[in-house]
Chain A
Amino acid sequence: MLGPGVAWYLAVAAFLFGIGALGVLIRRNTLVVLLSLELMLNAGNLALIALSRHWHNGAGQIFALGVMAVAASEVCVGLGLVVALNRRRLSLDVDTLSELRG
């Protein structure tokens, strides 16, 4: 087998996922939050593909395709929400959108 072992790929994926998660937690701008979400999803994809290759099993690649489809839809909805917020001249700061507070 060529190239680095699967552990490296997983480490990169975990790193990417950590960056994404931190971004979602820390950043306030809605667009950046969405961006971070994409990062997390793609970290997952990377792990799926790496493991697929490691185990010689195609299912992981199919999963990755499914995740991409989900990610695309999610971006549609998310960007749609951003546009809607913008049209109403509402702030894009997620912390100001706290109407659900109990």
Chain B
Amino acid sequence: MTAMTYGAWLCLLAPLAATILITLCGTRIPRVAAAWVATTSCFVAFGGAIWAFFGVKSQPTGVGWTGYPPPANDFGRSHITTAWTWLQSGHFKVGLQLLVDPLSTVMMLIVAGVGGLIVLYSIGYMEGDDEERRYFAYIAFFVFSMLLLVEGGNLLMLLIGWGLVGLSSYLLIGFWHERPSAVQAAKKAFIMNAFGDATMALAFFILIAHTNSLSFGVLNTHLSSTATNLVALGLLGGAVAKSAQIPLQTWLPDAMEGPTPVSALIHAATMVTAGVYLIARTHVIFEQARTIELIAAGTGALTLLVAGLIALVQTDIKKVIAYSTMSQIGYMFVGVGVGAYSNGMFHLMTHAFFKALLFMTAGLAIHALAGEQDIRNMRGLGKVMPFTKWCFLAGALALVGIPPFSGFFSKDPIIASAAALGTWYGWIFWVCGIAGAFLTGLYTFRLWFLVFPGEPTPFVREHYHDHHGREGALTMLVPVGILTVLATFAGWLQFSPFWTPFTKWLAPAAPTLAAAVPSDTQELVTSVVAVLVGLGGIAVAWAIYSERRLAIPAAPFWRRLLENKFYFDWLYDRIFYGPAVAISNGLLHEFEEPVVLQTGPDIAEATFETGGLVRRLQTGLLRTYVLFLAAGAAAVVLAFLIAR
């Protein structure tokens, strides 16, 4: 055990301890205590993550091995720590293992850091809710699950974390269980995620069948090309479901039924980006199945366009940001799909900051307007909530990728890496990325111009209420402030191609493919084009929604298409839900009602009637019983006599 593994275990177990503590204490501790226990545990976890980070940093980079991950013994910057053998079946063995390496420490820092800030924000946001303790137990449990996912030292641990984040996401989306829509959304999210979990489990079965192991090292094993492709496809299925990419994207917008901090933490900053982490973590197998990896990039490119388009017509403030999240994860998929893992991961990090910020400022607005989420009612909110306004603007500029905000440094290299492939699909990804940048500018600043500038509407004047003279509780404003700083400056960590510490840090864990390293010209041209196009999107939004110089194009077909979210829900309803209900109804009327429901009463009736006949034998008279006894004995004796 080295210092870094202590840090990793501390990071993992602190939120679990908080969950158990809050759950066991029940109503014996005040609500505020539950809230602070959860918050503290997340910050302790963040401390553990920092500990692990510096532990890894102090190690030599370990260049002796070529494949990744290294063997189970400590080597270089990758450490696997095994608590005990957790599961053994014949020669198949899985340990309760954690992996501490550059990739997992980055994820630990993001999850615990952003998680801590958002849990802190929840203290203000959830104040006065009837079941605050349950909320904080759930959210601490989510942070634990997510840390297990990113720290898991073998594929089974990863899958356990993967399943548990799905569970905690389900619990938190459906937190307000008295709302039928929230319950529906929770079920939808869980079922669509279960599909991904299943494909991942199938991929693992193939791995076990071929290699009899689930350690990360087996990904290096050379399997047959069919098996490799199937395993990669299974992992991609999991990533697509968890990260809400087409065709499994429809759960994410509905998941906005949960409390806003949940949307910020689970459905923007951490859980939905787990698919990106998964591809970066298992990149070895994806590189052996390059077609599947490019399918991942293609899925991302398609999703970023589709989600960006749908975001243009949404009227719910959280749904606009949710579609924006899908779109940005599409970028990350393009990044890791073309092989630029560090670019994808860097965008994951900056996105965690600015998207959490956007959700939390939206939460401030929703909170101050007593639960209103329709942006058409919010115009002029900036006048009464200047702090929220400026923080939101920082997040919005980071999202669009305007320098010097963080999105600029993380999004443009992804688009440039697509160009670096130099193939026809590389250019398609590039065009999609640039088009996505325009859409991002348009929908983000549509939101901005509709909500913040101008004179407050009567609705805002009527419903706005401050919190002791502030725009929100201090526990809400402080994390928003911190995230504003991060969303603004975190991008400066890396300015490819001149200054790339982040890529170098991840190189031992997920080295960028040589084919995905763009030339300086490609980087430069892409950045200039992307920023100009993003500014173009902002300009169009300004012209339409602020100055009203341009009318919204009346394209009824497109409008209908977008408002119906490209008919995915409709399609799934027809293909899966409709037939399932029809089959169930058929079984109900043809089988259950006539057969199952009738059998029980029939059996009961028969038993009852038989009992009615037999009960006459029970006279209650001693002599009758004796007579039967004697008769029985006589019969036995007679039988013996005859048989002889």
Which residue numbers of A lie inside 8 Å of B, CB to CB? Answer: 21, 24-26, 33, 94-95, 97-102
Contact = CB atoms under 8 A, between A and B. Distances in A.
Contacts of A25: 623, 626-627, 630
Contacts of B618: 100-102
A98 B619 contact: yes
A90 B622 CA distance: 16
B623 A24 contact: yes
19 contacts: A21-B626, A21-B630, A25-B623, A25-B627, A25-B630, A26-B623, A94-B622, A95-B621, A95-B622, A97-B622, A98-B619, A100-B618, A101-B619, A101-B620, A101-B621, A102-B614, A102-B615, A102-B617, A102-B618
Contacts of B630: 21, 25
Contact of A99 (B614, B620, B623, B627): B620
A23 to B, nearest CB: 10
A62 B204 CA distance: 73
B616 interface: yes
A90 to B, nearest CB: 14
Nearest to A98: B620
A28 to B, nearest CB: 8
Contacts of A94: 621-623
Interface string B600-632: 000000000000001111111111001100100
Nearest to B630: A21
A102 B614 CA distance: 9
B615 A24 contact: no
> Binding site of B, secondary structure by majority: helix, strand, loop or mixed?
helix
Contact of B620 (A21, A26, A33, A100): A100
A36 to B, nearest CB: 10
Contacts of B620: 97-102
User: When A and B form their complex, which 4 residue pairs have the shortest distance between CB atoms, in order from nearest?
Assistant: A98-B620, A102-B618, A101-B620, A102-B615
B641 to A, nearest CB: 15
Nearest to B623: A25
Contacts of A100: 618, 620
Nearest to A101: B620
B635 to A, nearest CB: 15
A95 B622 CA distance: 7
- Listed residue (B618, B620, B630) with the most chain A CB atoms within 10 angstroms of its CB: B620
Given A21-B630, A101-B620, 12 more contacts: A21-B626, A25-B630, A94-B621, A97-B620, A98-B620, A99-B620, A100-B618, A100-B620, A101-B619, A102-B614, A102-B617, A102-B619
B616 A33 contact: no
B626 A24 contact: yes
A14 B618 CA distance: 29
A25 B622 CA distance: 8
A94 to B, nearest CB: 5
Contacts of B614: 102
A100 B616 CA distance: 11
A101 B622 CA distance: 10
A100 B61 CA distance: 87
A40 to B, nearest CB: 10
Contacts of B616: 102
A58 B69 CA distance: 86
A42 to B, nearest CB: 17
B12 to A, nearest CB: 66
Contacts of B621: 94-95, 98, 101
A59 to B, nearest CB: 21
